[in-house]
Amino acid sequence: MSTTAAAAVDQPLVIGGREFQSRLMVGTGKYADNDTMVRAIDASGAEIVTVAVRRVDLDRTKEEGILFHLDPKKYFLLANTAGCYTAEEAIRYARLAREAGFNEFIKLEVIGDQETLLPDVEGLLESARTLVKEGFHVMAYTNEDLITALKLEDAGCAAIMPLASPIGSGLGLINPYTVRTIKRRLGAPVIVDAGVGTASDACVTMEQGVDGILMNTAIAAAQDPVAMAHAMGRAVEAGRLAYLAGRMPRREIAIPSSPTTGMLD
C-alpha cells in the first residue's frame, strides 16, 4: 500500500498509545471465502483487522477459526462485541476476547435495535466505564450524537467510533456536520465505523477530518472485493490528504482560471 505520500505530510494514527500507519481498518465478516478475504485485506493496506468472538463449532461442520487464515503477527487484531444487546453481555465478550491473548483493545458494540443495529447508548456508556476500569482500550461504536461521544471520551475511551450510516447499509456519510462536530470537539481519535458503501463515501468521510474509517461490508460485498479494497485504501488516503491540504473556498459564481487580459480584438 502506498502510505508514503500520506506519511510525508501526516502524523501516524495513535490509539491507546499504539501507532498505526494506515487509517483504514477492515472487518473480516461476510466474505464469500477466506482466500478472497485474505487478498482483500492485503490489498486494503489495513493494519487493524476486526474479528468477532463466537462459540467453537464442536462438530467441525463450519469453518476453522479466523486465525487459521490471518497471521496475528502481520495484523493488529481488534476483537468486537458485535451481537451484544446489553452491557453485561458486551463485558463478557470483551473479557473473553482479551483472554485470547492478543491485546487489550476492544471494539465495543452494544446494539439497541435489531432492524437498524443502532447502538444502545446507555448500555454502551455503562460497559465502556467498566471496561476502561479493567484496563481495556475501548473503541466505542456509537451514533453521531456529540453528547454521547463526549461522555464516552470522558469515560476514558481510546477512540470514539460514530457511524456514517447503519451497519451494512452502504448509505454513506449521512450527516457530515455531526461527524465533523464530534471530531472538532473531541481530543480522542474519531474513527468512523459503519455505513460506507463505496470509495467516494470513504473519501468524503476522511475529508471531514476524522482520524480513520472502519469498514467491512463495503469491501466484502463488492462484486470484486479485492479491487474494492484497493480503491478504499486509496480513497482513505486521498480524503486524508485533501483534508490536510485544505480545500478551496466554495463560491456561488464562477471565476475564470485563465487570464481575462491578452485577449484578441
Task: Give the footprint of another protein on this chain (CB under 8 A).
Answer: 27-31, 37, 50-56, 58, 63, 65-67, 77, 79-80, 82, 92, 95-97, 99-101, 167-168, 194, 214-217
Whether 176 contacts 208, CB under 8 Å: yes
Residue 36 vs 181, nearer CB to another protein: 36
- Which triple of cell numbers denotes residue 177? 456536520
Nearest to 192 by CA among 238, 150, 159: 159
Min separation Cβ 208 and another protein, Å:
21
User: How many C-beta atoms lie closer than 10 Å to residue 142's C-beta?
Assistant: 25
Min separation Cβ 215 and another protein, Å:
8
Rg of the chain in Å (alpha carbons): 20
* Three-state SS at 24: strand
Min separation Cβ 183 and another protein, Å:
22
DSSP 127-171: HHHHHHHTT-EEEEEE-S-HHHHHHHHHTT-SEEEE-SSSTT---
Residue 151 vs 169, nearer CB to another protein: 169
Q: Which of 107, 133, 151, 183 is catalytic?
A: 107
Residue 50 vs 208, nearer CB to another protein: 50
Q: Using CA atoms, how far apart are residues 142 and 128, in angstroms rounded to an integer?
A: 11
Whether 100 contacts 72, CB under 8 Å: no
- Catalytic, 151? Answer no
Residue 168 vs 209, nearer CB to another protein: 168
137: phi then psi, degrees, rounded to nearest 5: -90, 105
- Which triple of cell numbers denotes residue 217? 461490508
Residue 215 vs 236, nearer CB to another protein: 215
CB-based burial label for 254 (10 Å; 0-12, 13-18, 19+)? exposed
Min separation Cβ 80 and another protein, Å:
6
Min separation Cβ 171 and another protein, Å:
16
**Residues that are catalytic:** 107
